[in-house]
């Protein structure tokens, strides 16, 4: 293990996909780097989210590193969409292959960071009271890493087993034959519900808002990977310049103006039978035009009605209150069919809200439902949560204060008042609206190139101008407002966290467009940044 002297060129926070690649790039460039990771091993989101059925909703051929050409050829995924255990195996393999663990301190949670304008260094304090310093800090803390734990009355009173999908026990949980509740019907909830329904004695799902879901049509990867491998470099390049950071046939025509009714149906049927997140890319106005969006939504509602036998249950499962795509779409593998099972029932929290937990179970409406196990799949304090959970003090106050009315960044990479602090896939970058692997690699490469630029000039400080930051915040908001995305009470908006200011947080202009802007800024001598 490399000695952790405590003073480093760079501290990276987090050993998920972003932190590991950042370590590789900076170590190769000769920097002294220390990675601080709260978990017991590498993996980030894939280390913590071990719930039954956890699986990626981006295809395996796209959701992997592109920087290691030999690895890209050697690694074989088994399924079209990789499961959590397989992804974790992959990340561990990368850590072994590049001998990364020697520069990572595990089981160490960063609690505070303070910038010293005299020494021009960050002091980073961890939960064990230890302090380290670094010229640069890179927060590779993830967009969905701080669980949202709703303040439900009586949470402590429940006498059975209580689990969170975002912190699933490493030894697994025996659910066989038990009376189980799942609260939450986002991606984590849907996957958990589908996986455990055949195993448990009874399953009661507590749903606040129904989700739109498109079938995954998952299965063995077959020849798909072998077909891609010979042309992988060009394939990756296409992803880098695409809208979503992965291959997705983008609809070129508008829904009403330019498409005949028969063609619309054929297009939607084709996409539905292909499966996956590209469904919402069917027509170019789906995220802009209310009527086009409604037509697509109605197509999905019809499919739900076909799948669920009981019309009353089908109606409860049918999303109507927000535009399709405005909350993160789910990709499912037999989710709706689960409700045809005799051991599964649905509680619509719109009609019967949860009032409290008791020793025996959950009180919703007038009924106390009794359970052996309650599983909370209630989501995350997304995008800003991990950054504001730390006490980050820059030149003029804390990051939490600066972001009280919503995040303010330049390119989602840095914030004015916080010199030498970089964010990987920070708010106001494409991040969660893209294949995270494409966006992570782009940001890590961008940050590495920026540090190399400073070093070549004998400089050691970088910070965005307030004006550049203001412009970028306005651009991000303006582009978001062009779409229907702000019309849903989504975690993109911070709406799932009580008291969090509702602001549309990701950059919706597309990965390729964002790359062109980011590359242009760098080529123009880091336009909008002050360096010294
Ligand atoms: P989520 O999408 O935020 O879903 C949380 C669910 O819990 C929602 O149904 C929410 O209802 C409900 N909920 C929250 N607080 C509640 C409360 N107090 N009472 C009752 N219900 C409550 O979180 P997630 O499912 O963990 O997914 C988050 C994101 O992680 C996904 O959107 C996706 O980007 C990523 N993810 C991806 C995969 C994958 O690759 N397949 C898997 C899991 C997660 P409301 O909708 O009414 O707020």
pLDDT tens-place values along the chain, 532 residues long: 456 779 999 999 999 999 999 999 999 999 999 999 999 999 999 999 999 999 999 999 999 999 999 999 999 999 999 999 999 999 999 999 999 999 999 999 999 999 999 999 999 999 999 999 999 999 999 999 999 999 899 999 999 999 999 999 999 999 999 999 999 999 999 999 999 999 999 999 999 999 999 999 999 999 999 999 999 999 999 999 999 999 998 887 887 766 777 788 888 999 999 999 999 999 889 999 999 999 999 999 999 999 999 999 999 999 999 999 999 999 999 999 999 999 999 999 999 999 999 999 999 999 999 999 999 999 999 999 999 999 999 999 999 999 999 999 999 999 999 999 999 999 999 999 999 999 999 999 999 999 999 999 999 999 999 999 999 999 999 999 999 999 999 999 999 999 999 999 999 999 999 999 999 999 999 999 999 9
**pLDDT for position 67:** 98
How far, in Å, are 58, 143, 192, 382 from residue 379 at the CA level?
Answer: 19, 12, 13, 8
**pLDDT for position 252:** 77
Tell the residue nearest (CA) to atom 27 of ligand 1.
187
60 lines ligand 1 (CB under 6 A): no
325 lines ligand 1 (CB under 6 A): no
**pLDDT for position 5:** 75
434 lines ligand 1 (CB under 6 A): no
| Distance from residue 532's CA to the centre of ligand 1 (Å) | 43
* Calpha distance 421→110 (Å, rounded): 14
**pLDDT for position 58:** 97
In testing the pocket of ligand 1, which one of 84, 496, 505, 506 has its CB within 8 Å of the most ligand atoms? 496
The answer to whether the CB of 387 falls within 8 A of the CB of 142 is no
25 lines ligand 1 (CB under 6 A): no
189 lines ligand 1 (CB under 6 A): yes
Q: Rounded to 5 degrees, what angle do the CA atoms 475, 476, 478 make?
A: 65
Ranges of beta strands (E only) in 272-396 are 330-332, 344-348, 354-357, 361-364, 367-370, 373-376, 391-393
319 lines ligand 1 (CB under 6 A): no
| Distance from residue 173's CA to the centre of ligand 1 (Å) | 21
The answer to whether the CB of 490 falls within 8 A of the CB of 327 is yes
| Distance from residue 420's CA to the centre of ligand 1 (Å) | 33
Question: What count of Cα atoms within 13 Å lies in the side-chain half-sphere of residue 529?
Answer: 31
Question: From the CA atom positions of the chain, what is the Rg in Å?
Answer: 23
Using the 8-state DSSP alphabet, how is residue 375 labeled?
E
Q: Which atom of ligand 1 is nearest to the CA of 54?
A: 42
Q: What's the burial of 103, exposed, middle or buried (CB within 10 Å: 0-12/13-18/19+)?
A: buried
Beta bridge partners of 423: 139
| Distance from residue 27's CA to the centre of ligand 1 (Å) | 36
* Calpha distance 159→348 (Å, rounded): 24
**pLDDT for position 261:** 73
**pLDDT for position 251:** 82
**pLDDT for position 3:** 60
- Strands 104-105 and 367-370, sheet pairing: unpaired
Residue 246, number of CB atoms within 10 A of its CB: 22
| Distance from residue 352's CA to the centre of ligand 1 (Å) | 19
| Distance from residue 209's CA to the centre of ligand 1 (Å) | 10
3-state secondary structure of 446: helix
pTM, two decimals, is 0.97
199 lines ligand 1 (CB under 6 A): no
């Amino acid at each position: 293990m490399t000695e952790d002297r405590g003073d480093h060129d760079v501290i990276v926070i987090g050993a998920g996909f972003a932190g590991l690649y950042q370590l590789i790039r900076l170590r190769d460039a000769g920097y002294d780097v220390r990675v601080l990771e709260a978990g017991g091993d590498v993996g980030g989101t894939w280390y913590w989210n071990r719930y039954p059925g956890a699986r990626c909703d981006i295809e395996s051929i796209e959701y992997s590193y592109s920087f290691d050409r030999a690895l890209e050829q050697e690694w074989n995924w088994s399924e079209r969409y990789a499961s959590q255990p397989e992804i974790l195996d992959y990340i561990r393999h990368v850590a072994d292959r590049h001998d990364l663990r020697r520069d990572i301190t595990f089981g160490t949670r960063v609690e505070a960071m303070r910038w010293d304008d005299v020494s021009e260094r960050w002091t980073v304090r961890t939960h064990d009271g230890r302090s380290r310093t670094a010229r640069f800090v890179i927060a590779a803390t993830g967009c969905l890493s701080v669980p949202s734990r709703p303040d439900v009355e009586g949470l402590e009173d429940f006498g059975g087993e209580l689990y969170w999908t975002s912190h699933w026990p490493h030894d697994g949980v025996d659910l066989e034959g038990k009376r189980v509740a799942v609260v939450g019907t986002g991606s984590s909830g849907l996957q958990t519900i589908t996986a455990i329904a055949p195993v448990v004695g009874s399953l009661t799902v507590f749903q606040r808002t129904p989700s739109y879901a498109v079938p995954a049509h998952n299965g063995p990867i077959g020849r798909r990977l072998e077909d891609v491998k010979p042309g992988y470099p060009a394939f990756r390049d296409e992803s880098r310049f695409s809208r979503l950071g992965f291959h997705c046939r983008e609809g070129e025509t508008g829904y009403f103006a330019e498409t005949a009714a028969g063609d619309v149906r054929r297009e939607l049927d084709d996409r539905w039978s292909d499966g996956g997140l590209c469904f919402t890319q069917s027509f170019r106005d789906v995220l802009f035009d209310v009527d086009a969006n409604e037509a697509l939504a109605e197509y999905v509602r019809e499919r739900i009605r076909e799948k669920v036998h009981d019309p009353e249950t089908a109606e409860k499962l049918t999303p109507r209150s927000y535009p399709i795509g405005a909350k993160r779409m789910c990709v499912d593998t037999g989710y709706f069919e689960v409700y045809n099972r005799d051991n599964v029932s649905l509680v619509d929290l719109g009609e019967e809200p949860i009032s409290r937990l008791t020793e025996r179970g959950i009180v919703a409406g007038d009924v106390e439902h009794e359970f052996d196990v309650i599983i909370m799949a209630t989501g995350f304090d997304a995008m800003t949560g991990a950054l504001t959970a730390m006490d980050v003090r820059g030149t003029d106050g804390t990051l939490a204060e600066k972001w009280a009315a919503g995040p303010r960044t330049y390119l989602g990479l840095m914030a004015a008042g916080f010199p030498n602090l970089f964010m990987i896939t920070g708010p106001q970058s494409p991040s969660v609206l893209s294949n995270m692997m494409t966006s992570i690699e782009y940001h890590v490469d961008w940050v590495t190139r920026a540090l190399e630029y400073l070093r070549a000039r004998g400089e050691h400080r970088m910070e965005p101008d307030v004006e550049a930051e203001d412009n970028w915040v306005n651009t991000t908001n303006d582009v978001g407002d062009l779409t229907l995305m702000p019309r849903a009470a989504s975690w993109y908006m911070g709406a799932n966290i009580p008291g969090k200011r509702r602001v549309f947080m990701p950059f919706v202009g597309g990965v390729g467009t964002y790359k062109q802007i980011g590359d242009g800024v760098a080529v123009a001598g880091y336009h909008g940044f002050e360096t010294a």
